[in-house]
Structure 1
């Protein structure tokens, strides 16, 4: 099963990083349901601005942790390199 690490841009301009197996479903949950993260519920709507695939949950979780430790500037540089 493939996992994805993603970054969302919230309505207040903040960035949220997470992992999922289904990007489309998870984005919908963040924007429209009670299953979204507590952080994003107060900052809707959110927009997907970055994603990368991982082999498994373990590598996705490690990558998520590494991205979360980056400064905002470094996260934005990562996003820019992708597009």
Structure 2
């Protein structure tokens, strides 16, 4: 008869196995949580474009030299008198 003495796991073996199992389940549950969060997240990350105000367009035209100072001040006064958004 042959006996296999000395091949049992010691206390450290059981502790290592328990820690490994804990790490395994934390990774599995964490992976599922990240996958669910990613699936439910809003993936549309394109920046929303807001059109410039009439005053901003007028200032851009003036800065590019498309209109002179007189035309800029006259148009700006007209925009402010008409109550355009700022």
Normalising to structure 2: TM-score of the pair? 0.25
Higher relative contact order (CA 8 A, sep 6+): 1
Quick check: which has more Rg, 1 or 2?
2
Flag the structure with higher helix content.
Answer: 2
TM-score normalised by the chain length of structure 1: 0.26
Flag the structure with higher strand content: 1
